[in-house]
Every structure is written in C-alpha cells, then in structure tokens.
Amino acid sequence: MNEKQLIKNLLDFIDHSPSPYHAVKNLENQLVENNFTKLDEKQHWVLNRGGRYYVIRDGSSIIFFVAGERQLSDSGYKIFGAHTDSPGLKIKPNPVINSEGLLRLGVEIYGGPILATFTDRDLSLAGRFSYKTSEQQVDSQLVQFEQPLLRLPNLAIHMNRTVNEEGLKLHKQNELALIISTAIESQLSQQYLTQLLEQTSNIKADDILSWELNVYDTQKGSFWGDKEQFYTDSQLDNLASCHIGAQALLNHSTLKSGNTTLCAFFDHEEIGSESTKGANGSFLPDILERIALALELKKEDYQRALANSFMISADMAHAYQPNFPTAYEPEHKVMVNKGPVIKTNANHRYSSECISEAMFINWCKQTNTPYQKYSHRTDIPCGSTIGPMTSAKLGIRSIDVGNPMWAMHSIRESAGVKDHLYMFNVINHFFSSD
C-alpha cells in the first residue's frame, strides 16, 4: 500500500468510527475477516501456537494478538498500545432542555477538547444504548445518527465584540447545550431522546434504559495542501495510532516471525485511564497472564516473558505550527511529514528511557525511516499517555512515540500524509524483530 492509500484507509476507518464502540466494532470486523478467533474472558481458553485471537472488554477496549511459535518466555510479548477514545461532548442522562422556543440537549465535557472548535459544525450523535429484552434481560446495541442532528451556533460578533482579541470562551454549564429542534409539548420532553433512539433502531422507547452517546462531527476526512501532502479528520488522536498498529499486526500475522505480537487499545485514556477497561485497569495484565497460562507457562516463565517484552505506546505528538513559535521548545520542533516522534520527559510523563529510545532509533535506521525527538517546553505542564502506567504495572520496557499532528483535541485535527507509512514500517519491523 502506498502512503496515500494508507491514509484513505485510515480516513475510512475514522469516518465509520464516530465513537470508541464503533472503532472497536470496525476493528473486530477486520479481525474476523482475517481469521482471528474471539475469546471470552468468562470462558476457559485453549490457545494454539500460531493462532490469532482477540478479546473485547465492555465494547470499547480491545486486545488482539498472534500467539507466536517461538517460546514466549524467551521471545516476550511485542506490544503496541494506543487509545480508542477522543475528548469531546457527551449527552447528559436527562438531557432535554425544552424552553424559549427551542429544544436543546445538555452535555458534559469528556476529557479536554478545544470547545470553541465545536461551534458552527455539522454535529450528530453516536455511541451505544441498553434496553430490556423480551426475556427481561439487558442487552445493548450501537447507534449512529448519520444526518447532522445538532448544532452549537456561535454568538454573532456584534454581540461578542472582543472575540478576536480574547478568544471564544464558552461557559461550561450555560453555553454548551446543543440545539436539536424547535420546542415540543413540555410533558413529553425527557422521553424525547428515547423516542429518537427508537426511530433509528428496532427497540421500543419504553424498553430503552440507558445510553452513552457522544457528539461527533459528520464531516468526512479529506486531504489538503497544494499536493495533498496533509490530511484532516476528527479523532486523529488517537484512532490514527490504532489504525497503524492494527494494519501492522494484520500484516505481520501473515508472516512467520514466530513472535507473540499484540495490540492493546484502551478506552478512557482522555480521562485518566482509571476504569476496568482503561490502561490503568486490569485488562492488559489479565490478558497477558491468561495467554501465558493457556500456553502452559509456569509463573517464572511468565515473569521471564514479561522481562523479555517490549511495548510501544503510540499517541500523537505536537507538530510545529510557525504562527505560534513561542508555544514550542525551540530545539525540539517536530515537523509533519518528517517521521515518527520519540517523546521523552524527565518527570516520566512519557515511558521512554535511554535504552528503549535507542532500540526504537535502531528500528528506524533499519527501515530507513527518519525520526524526530520531542521535549515539551520546560515552563508548560506536559501531557501524558498510557505508556508510564502500563509499563509500571507490568515491568515491561517501553517507549512513547507518535506521529506529529496539528490542533490536538480540536474536532478537526490534521497531520502529514508521509508519517503514517513511516510509522507503519517501523511497527512492522518491531513485530518481526528478535
């Protein structure tokens, strides 16, 4: 696949993944097409060396792997980690505000989005809802409204004269509700959302019990620039990394390196990863141990496997934007289309250290891939990733890397076309390495 085809494939994945639940469902479809077998955490596992498997926890975190022919205690796990969630707006449990001639939906803020970018866009809803079945059990299904359903119109400049000097400030409680309709009869108002869900599913409104719906942008991804050397979409942070890992592992699963290779994609990174399916929960440790047990490793052999393992924690990096030079560390400007970024931080907000960094650089050199080093400004607090917490829990050597991008946490992020293939080549090499 050339670099442009790979980006088209990425944009298609993102445009069909308006929520982490949809992202995991789309990954699952691809895995099934490639003969991966689903494992259930509630069941006994029997694994074959050379087999391909996946596990989903609560619909929005997924681990998939190839059980290698090589002895796991010697080869270790080759792990690629990323996250499925993106910051944004989520619908409140009683969202309907039916007043002043308009119907609006109240929202909560999930993680740290750039709120101003949500104004004046063609927004809609996606996620999952749960319902009562005819057997009085609880089941759930995915939902996506395809049409632009919602909008957050800006205030006209005539009423906000200083917006260009002071920036657009939105009051989190009072100014984020999204317009969906003109007002309706007030006694129906809180049932409005379940009736909306009924219209797009085969489930009766009265049977719908709960939901997790996030706001998404219906605009599709696209290329831009005079030679289409850039691309843009929502959720590049971090579905772009999930896409690279999945493509590399699917590619590797057809090769015979004998390594046990694994992708772990977690929900809830944007809110600190503290959940049953988050990177700071038990999902990855549980699955690594169960793989070892199913392959009949003794405790010491499992611990040897961990000691021989390596994890690449992939999350996007901040590309240099020359209009804002003072926001960046002058000696660590990273550029789009100039290759993967290695992230380091003295306070270990990133998991990279001298040895893991050198190993990654070595893989870049072996694949003729350019690379860049990033350090945040010393006077601005640095973000973090799933890298430090997962490597700390497991004692696995790890590195934090990512592709450069602009406007992280905007609803419309952008990046460079070349970088996706560069990173794909390095990850491919990593999965096959000794």
Residue number, 85 or 357, with CB nearest to Zn ion: 85
Contact at 8 Å (CB) between 415 and 353?
Answer: no
The distance of closest approach from Cβ of residue 268 to Zn ion in the complex, given in angstroms and rounded to an integer, is 12
Of the ranges 105-113, 159-167, 178-186, 229-237, which one interacts with Zn ion (CB under 5 A)? 229-237
CB of 316 to Zn ion, least distance (A): 6
CB closer to Zn ion out of 212 and 270: 270
Nearer of residues 194 and 351 to Zn ion, judged by Cβ: 351
**Least distance in Å: CB of 24 to Zn ion?**
16
**Shortest gap between Cβ of 138 and Zn ion (angstroms)?**
31
CB of 237 to Zn ion, least distance (A): 4
Q: Residue from 26, 117, 214, 238 that binds Zn ion (CB under 5 A)?
A: 238
Quote the least distance from Cβ 383 to Zn ion, whole Å: 8
Do the beta carbons of residue 404 and residue 215 sit within 8 Å?
A: no
Site for Zn ion in 291-320 (CB under 5 A): 315
Q: How many residues bind Zn ion (CB under 5 A)?
A: 3
Residues 264-283 that bind Zn ion (CB under 5 A): none
Closer to Zn ion at the Cβ: 73 or 398? Answer: 398
244/421 Cα distance (integer angstroms): 8
Nearer CB in complex with Zn ion: 126/316:
316
Closer by beta carbon to Zn ion, 47 or else 79: 79
Name every residue whose Cβ is closer than 8 Å to that of residue 120 and which is 6 or more positions away in sequence: 151, 152, 153, 154
At its nearest, how many Å lie between Zn ion and the CB of residue 86?
8
Of the ranges 88-96, 214-222, 231-239, 278-286, which one interacts with Zn ion (CB under 5 A)? Answer: 231-239
Q: Which is nearer to Zn ion, 304 or 376 (CB)?
A: 376
Q: What's the closest the beta carbon of residue 330 comes to Zn ion, in angstroms? A: 24
Stretch 181-220: interaction string toward Zn ion, x if CB under 5 A: ----------------------------------------
C-alpha span between 21 and 7 (Å, rounded): 22
Q: Which of residues 364-423 bind Zn ion (CB under 5 A)?
A: none
The span of 208-216, 236-244, 330-338, 340-348 binding Zn ion (CB under 5 A) equals 236-244
Q: Does 85 bind Zn ion (CB under 5 A)?
A: no
Q: By C-beta, is 79 or 96 nearer to Zn ion?
A: 79
Q: Single out the residue of 237, 357, 400, 413 in contact with Zn ion (rule: CB under 5 A).
A: 237
Q: Which stretch binds Zn ion (CB under 5 A): 63-71, 175-183, 234-242, 354-362?
A: 234-242
CA distance 204 to 132: 9
Least Å distance between CB 146 and Zn ion?
A: 26
Residue number with CB closer to Zn ion (212 or 237): 237
Least gap, CB of 269 to Zn ion (angstroms): 6
CA distance to 152, 346, 405, per residue, from 111 (Å)? 19, 24, 19
| Cβ-based nearer residue to Zn ion, 237 or 267 | 237
Closest among 309, 310, 314 to 400, alpha carbons compared: 314
- 3-class secondary structure per residue, the chain: CCHHHHHHHHHHHHHCCCCHHHHHHHHHHHHHHCCCEECCCCCCCCCCCCCEEEEEECCCEEEEEECCCCCHHHHCEEEEEEECCCCEEEEEEEEEEEECCEEEEEEEEECCCCHHHHCCCCEEEEEEEEEECCCCCEEEEEEECCCCCEECCCCCHHHCCCHHHHCCCCCCCCCCCEEEEECCCHHHHHHHHHHHHHHCCCCCHHHEEEEEEEEEECCCCEEECCCCCEEEECCHHHHHHHHHHHHHHHHHCCCCCCCEEEEEEECCHHHCCCCCCCCCCCHHHHHHHHHHHHCCCCHHHHHHHHHCCEEEEECCEECCCCCCHHHCCCCCCCCCCCCCEEECCCCCCCCCCHHHHHHHHHHHHHCCCCCEEECCCCCCCCCCCCHHHHHHHHCCEEEEEECEEECCCCCCEEEEHHHHHHHHHHHHHHHHCC
- State the nearest-atom distance from the C-beta of 168 to Zn ion, in Å: 23
Pick 238 or 313: Cβ nearer Zn ion: 238
Q: Which stretch binds Zn ion (CB under 5 A): 32-40, 210-218, 233-241, 369-377?
A: 233-241
Can you give the binding site for Zn ion, defined by CB under 5 A?
A: 237-238, 315
